[in-house]
Amino acid sequence: MSFAISSTEASRVSALVSRNLTDFEWQSDYDTRPRVCHISLWSRPIEGFSSSKVLDDIDEYAFEKVTGHKRDHTVGHGNMAYEGFSNIIEVGKDALNKNTPDLTSDRSGESTPTIGNPTLQHWALVFEWSDRTATYEASDVNSFLVPKWYDGKPRGKEWKKLYDLESQILSPMRVNLAAKMNRFNGLRYTVGHVNCQQWIETLCSVLSICLSTPTLAEAAPVTAIMASGGAFLQKNKGPLGLLAGVATGVVLVYKAVTNLATRYRSNTTEEAEEADERNCVV
């Protein structure tokens, strides 16, 4: 899997990035005064992408990383490191797709989201100073990862705050510079490892903002595999690094989804008992 792009594509991507980075000039690059900034992680569903798609994408990327060539699905690969990795991926799929309830309908027949194969989450970071608020994110624009930021919090009722991060002493200029220099800017978008999550994680790393992975796994279990696994694939070239990174992600996802399923079963059992009591005719 190659991320190289032609000079023409590079120019087009550069134009896209530059346009997004200059659209919101309300936040001056000359605002250099460091002050207390409250930071929070927000998310919204990405329709059309499931947990299985994430794992498949990471699986394909890992095979090429470990073996040095793209996978030929018609022949065996014969690579022991990849065999172990592939087994971990299968465990992850089983954890995500078989150990959670099917929530396609409830007792009344109304449709509800399916936790067993849930949608992925798009991330955004919100920075709140006493005198201004800004949202930073990166998204797929014509198959490239393009950053943007804007005044205020994320717009749209589908957005929700996952959790608050630690407060920092930051200037708007410092945050802007980190976003402009993000190493994922303009790369080809892939759902598994060049995505909004990796962009956010890189921004947090540069600004010394701690993303608590266990907390993240609890708040957004499907996305945790991308934060723990996908980022690890980018940073570690050895097969053992691949195994350790994605294994960590899968374990976190497994625990989070299992807890989610347990809570759901407990809640639905209580609701069913209450409904039966209300409908009971003496």
6-31 pLDDT tens trace: 566 666 666 666 666 554 444 556 68
Q: What are the CA-CA distances from residue 224 to residues 2, 64, 192 (Å)?
A: 24, 22, 11
Q: How far is it, in rounded angstroms, from Cα 82 to Cα 282?
A: 63
Question: Does some domain include residue 272?
Answer: no
Q: What is the pLDDT of residue 222?
A: 55
Q: What is the pLDDT of residue 189?
A: 84
Work out the average pLDDT over 53-57: 62
Q: How far is it, in rounded angstroms, from Cα 187 to Cα 195?
A: 9
Angle at 167 between CA 163 and CA 171, to 5 degrees: 125
Q: What is the pLDDT of residue 159?
A: 92
Question: Does some domain include residue 279?
Answer: no
Q: How far is it, in rounded angstroms, from Cα 69 to Cα 75?
A: 13
Q: Given a cut of 50, is residue 3 above it in pLDDT?
A: no
Of 104 and 163, the one with more pLDDT: 163
Question: Does some domain include residue 81?
Answer: yes
Q: What is the pLDDT of residue 108?
A: 45
Packing angle, helices 196-206 and 172-180, rounded to 10: 130
- Whether pTM > 0.75 for this model: the answer is no
What phi, psi does 156 have (nearest 5°)?
120, 140
Question: Does some domain include residue 278?
Answer: no
Q: What is the pLDDT of residue 112?
A: 40
Supply the mean pLDDT for the chain. Answer: 67
> How is residue 149 written in tokens?
């930021």
Q: What is the pLDDT of residue 45?
A: 78
Number of domains in the chain: 1
Q: Which residues pair with 123 in a beta bridge?
A: 43
Question: Does some domain include residue 1?
Answer: no
Question: Does some domain include residue 276?
Answer: no
pLDDT in tens, 180-201: 889 999 898 876 668 888 899 8
> How is residue 173 written in tokens?
């200029």
Within 23-171, residue ranges assigned H as helices are: 51-67, 80-97
Question: Does some domain include residue 30?
Answer: yes
Question: Does some domain include residue 32?
Answer: yes
Work out the average pLDDT over 272-279: 59
Q: Tell me the residue range of the domain where 192 lies.
A: 7-265
pLDDT in tens, 125-184: 999 999 999 999 998 888 889 998 888 999 888 898 988 998 999 999 899 889 988 999
Whether 115 contacts 260, CB under 8 Å: yes
Q: Which residues pair with 119 in a beta bridge?
A: 50
| Buried b or exposed e, range 72-81, using 16+ CB within 10 angstroms | eeeeeeeeeb
Q: What is the pLDDT of residue 109?
A: 43
Q: How far is it, in rounded angstroms, from Cα 69 to Cα 15?
A: 32
Q: What is the pLDDT of residue 117?
A: 42
Whether 52 contacts 176, CB under 8 Å: no
Whether 47 contacts 231, CB under 8 Å: no
Of 67 and 98, the one with more pLDDT: 67
